[in-house]
Amino acid sequence: MNIVFWGLQAVLALLFLAGGSYKAFSFQQLASQFSELPHGGWRALGVLEMAGGVLLIVPAALKWMPSLTAHAAAVLTIETFALAALYARHSTKMTPENPMIWALVMGVLAAFVAYGRYVLKPLVSATA
């Protein structure tokens, strides 16, 4: 089960780093389509996603405060579901082009990692 969580963490880390960098540095298209958030809001979400992507891997891999991995997964779950709700205000079509679908899938996977790292297979620090 630990291998499954590590695999999911790696995939989610890459997806959140990519999506976060897009939101932080190339947000003009997003801001024009979804005007509910200002430019600074997209940047903040991007930085949050990039930080979360790093925290999904680094603390657990270094065995330094590994509980940060579970916390990051929980925060990313909440952020991703909130973003899916924002996307749903514009379109609820079940098509691959709809970012709501991708946000929901990533949110469910992040929730599974958070649950797994809190309950099923918690990470322990090197000193424990």
Report yes or no on 126 lying in a domain: no
Report yes or no on 15 lying in a domain: yes
Say how far apart CA 97 and CA 100 lie, in whole Å: 9
Residues in the chain: 128
Summarize the chain as % helix, strand, coil (round to 5).
75, 0, 25
Average pLDDT, the chain: 86
Report yes or no on 79 lying in a domain: yes
Report yes or no on 89 lying in a domain: yes
Q: Which amino acid does the sequence have at 14?
A: L
Report yes or no on 36 lying in a domain: yes
Residues of the chain above pLDDT 90, percent: 46
Report yes or no on 39 lying in a domain: yes
pLDDT for 127 equals 52
Assign residue 122 a region (left: φ > 0; alpha: ψ between -120 and 50; beta: otherwise).
Answer: beta
Report yes or no on 92 lying in a domain: yes
Measure the N-to-C terminal CA separation of the chain; round to a whole number of Å: 21
Report yes or no on 62 lying in a domain: yes
Digit-coded pLDDT (tens) for 25-65: 887 776 777 777 788 888 999 999 999 999 999 998 888 88
Q: Taking the complete model, does pTM exceed 0.95, yes or no?
A: no
Say how far apart CA 120 and CA 128 lie, in whole Å: 18
Domain enclosing residue 17, as ranges: 3-120
Q: How many domains does the chain have?
A: 1
